[in-house]
A and B are shown apart, each in its own frame.
Chain A
Amino acid sequence: MKLSGAEILLEALRLEGVKKIFGYPGGAVLDIYDRLPFTPLKHYLTRHEQGAAHAADGYARVTGKVGVCFATSGPGATNLVTGLATAQIDSIPVVAFTGNVPTYMIGNDAFQEVDTVGITRPITKHNFLVKDVKDLAETVKKAFHIAKTGRPGVVLVDLPKDVTREITDFFEEEYKIPVQIRSYKPVLKGHPGQIKKAAKAIASAERPVLYIGGGVVSSGASELVVKMAEVASIPMVATLMGLTAAPGNHPYFLGMLGMHGTYAANMAVTDCDLLIAIGARFDDRVTGKLSEFAPHAKVIHIDVDSAEIGKNKAVDIPIVGDAKLIMEELLPEVEKQVSKNREFLLSREKWLMKVKSWAERYPLYYEPSDRVIKPQFVIEKICEVTEGEAIITTDVGQHQMWVAQYYKFRFPRQLVTSGGLGTMGFGVPAAVGAKVGRPDKTVFCISGDGSFQMNMQEIVTAVQYSIPIKVAIINNGFLGMVRQWQGIFYDRNYSQVHLDVQPDFVRLVEAMGGVGLRVERPEDVEKALKEAISINDRPVVIDFVVDREEDVYPMVPPGGALHEMILPKYGKKKAKKAV
């Protein structure tokens, strides 16, 4: 069949199982957009290319499928950059297609020309510049293969305009032949000897802790990991990216560890004699001072990316491979070891008791108020009203940490948040993508007044396609996290963090065609949330005017060890709030 490059691209996407695309047209991709209406692909026109990249990312995070976005050359491509970097550092499978100037003009400083593959090389898993239409189909196939296999990531395919216009043969049957990349063969199956060693270590440790990262969620290993915790009585802690792997109310789950982790999680890691890291990368926000991170522990590290093993912390039992495949082998081994050693396991009760006592002694806490809205109270209410079943997207800052602490998640892939890059402006477009991916779920974007203003134009996208996302702005009139740091470490020198001048969010959202609500009193929080949930044909934004100077605790000062947390000031009601 003779097809143009544009048609080949769209055919290839269909054959890859792509159904939704987020994008923004422009000169260099005119030929692609010209053919797009004649395909079954549904395209969402975002209001900014950054929004398209975040939406594709959000879609990928909730579905586990590859997210796809389109942009034109030059500014279209550069506007994708933050979105692609956000997805790449969190290992999210996204394939981005950018137009470029025709091959014969490349390097000429032509109109809307940039070196897109050069710019995106450090923020993608791989990228391609297609110079010949004959290579196009194979390149698209490779792009999807690379994005979703091994450690998932971002692949960008740059398409000069003439390549999308030229005509060549395309055969569906040929496209369906699985791709082979001779220099790319990710290791997925764990080494059996290492798995046996790990099982023995797990069965013989006195104070083990499971340290769960995003890799557990993305490989689909969550249930197996929780099962192992139950079988071998192991407390679990999670990174921001790994939070949804374990149910938030699981008795062995201690919550998030790290800079804003719970007291129990951080103490458990500090005191453990075996740290079982799965799909986690010992990020600085997690470890604090490295030399005092899990200082007494033997370390098992399971990761699909061998370069993560030993990168920050020395590892005793490394296992390279896919977390799910490894857990399928490891769990039965652990069960075998445990059944041999019943009495010893009983002694682990002591460890569980100790962990529990930490959780009871210093739970998450904030001083409740019936005069002002406490931000944590809003998160708790959202959790309550949505019965812990909503998909939550966040922006970056204090509200993000409060979500991680106070929303009790129930199932994997429920939290969509920019962990590694910390991208403000992620939440709203990611919610659009998440709702497109999971229309059956309530999707709540919890944002801040600073973050919301970074990509609020995507509310218009949600209006256009009747995507009923909910947005809760935790509005403290500050860049709260920056203010918190200035307060604690810079002697309250609040420099450039006042957001005193703000749009009237209610009228702004109404002007964009959504529903705007404002809540200023604690007793009105629940009612507004219920109202928002009842609206199902357009986006709703609730402006929660909250306590201005609430800080996020616990907090490990930068460079400090995990056990050196700054704790909240506990009031009388402390005992009520369990972790």
Chain B
Amino acid sequence: MEKPNYRKHVISVLVENQPGALARIIELFSSRGYNIESLNVGHTEDPTISRITMVAKGDEHTIEQIVKQLRRIIDVFKVRDLTDKKKLDRELLIVRLNVDSTEKKEEVKRLVDIFGAQIVDVSHDTYTVELTGDEEQIDAFLELIKPLGVREMARTGRVAMVRALQGDTFGGEK
């Protein structure tokens, strides 16, 4: 049974772009028994710094511990829990669908249209669709499209950024 206030948190981390930095973060989750749902790493405006966006599940105490433990890592610059901030929050989905009939092709095109997705690759009997959106949009799209026959799918973890109204994501101290 899930505890009350046990929920998904979006945590954004700036780290030195160093070998070992990512390993340290991942090991922190395994060694302390935290649950990590997704993790995304990429460059930032500064090539020596990487940005990690992770989604972790836990109650407030666990998440507070995760944030504090992340801050202890020498290579970590800044850590922010973005969960309750106004933010942009995106995932990317690539999904290959079986479309062995005209009806299915039409149905896929219709859903692609509605969700603002794109068909990016086509074969005789498959369409490959790309969709960017927040978690809910992607889940909704998948739900509708699954009955048509998903052959293969890949999905990124989240990337997130605080909205300009709220200032920069990483203002202030570590």
Interface residues in chain A, defined as those with a beta carbon under 8 Å from any beta carbon in chain B: 117-118, 121-122, 125-127, 129, 146, 181-185, 305-307, 310-311
A125 CB contact (under 8 Å) in B16, B27, B74: B74
> Are A126 and B68 in touch, CB under 8 angstroms?
no
Report Cα–Cα, A126/B75, bound state, in Å. 9
A117 CB contact (under 8 Å) in B20, B71, B74, B174: B20
Q: A307 and B69 in contact (CB under 8 A), knowing A146-B74, A183-B16?
A: yes
Q: Does B147 contact A (CB under 8 A)?
A: no
Q: A129 and B71 in contact (CB under 8 A), knowing A121-B27, A182-B77?
A: no
Report B53-76 CB contacts with A as 1/0, cut-off 8 Å: 000000001001100110110111
> Are A181 and B74 in touch, CB under 8 angstroms?
yes
Report B144-174 CB contacts with A as 1/0, cut-off 8 Å: 0000000000000000000000000000001
A310 CB contact (under 8 Å) in B20, B64, B69, B77: B64
Q: Does B24 contact A (CB under 8 A)?
A: yes
By secondary structure, the B interface counts as: helix
Report Cα–Cα, A4/B154, bound state, in Å. 49
> Are B74 and A183 in touch, CB under 8 angstroms?
yes
CB distance from B22 to the nearest CB of A (A): 11
Report Cα–Cα, A118/B19, bound state, in Å. 11
Q: Does B114 contact A (CB under 8 A)?
A: no
CB distance from B155 to the nearest CB of A (A): 29
CB distance from A479 to the nearest CB of B (A): 28
> Are B65 and A183 in touch, CB under 8 angstroms?
no
Q: Does B5 contact A (CB under 8 A)?
A: no
CB distance from A547 to the nearest CB of B (A): 41
Report Cα–Cα, A303/B74, bound state, in Å. 18
Give me 27 A-to-B residue pairs in the complex whose CB atoms sit less than 8 angstroms apart, sorted by A's number. Answer: A118-B23, A121-B20, A121-B23, A121-B27, A122-B27, A125-B74, A126-B74, A127-B20, A129-B19, A129-B20, A146-B74, A181-B74, A182-B77, A183-B15, A183-B16, A183-B74, A183-B75, A183-B76, A183-B77, A183-B174, A184-B74, A185-B174, A306-B68, A306-B71, A310-B61, A310-B64, A311-B68
CB distance from B161 to the nearest CB of A (A): 20
Collect the chain B residues with CB atoms within 8 Å of residue A306's CB: 68, 71
> Are A307 and B68 in touch, CB under 8 angstroms?
yes
Q: Does B31 contact A (CB under 8 A)?
A: yes
CB distance from A264 to the nearest CB of B (A): 32
CB distance from B96 to the nearest CB of A (A): 35
Closest to A181 in B: B74
Collect the chain B residues with CB atoms within 8 Å of residue A121's CB: 20, 23-24, 27
CB distance from B47 to the nearest CB of A (A): 15
Closest to B66 in A: A307
Interface centre among B20, B27, B74, by most chain A C-beta atoms within 10 angstroms, is: B74
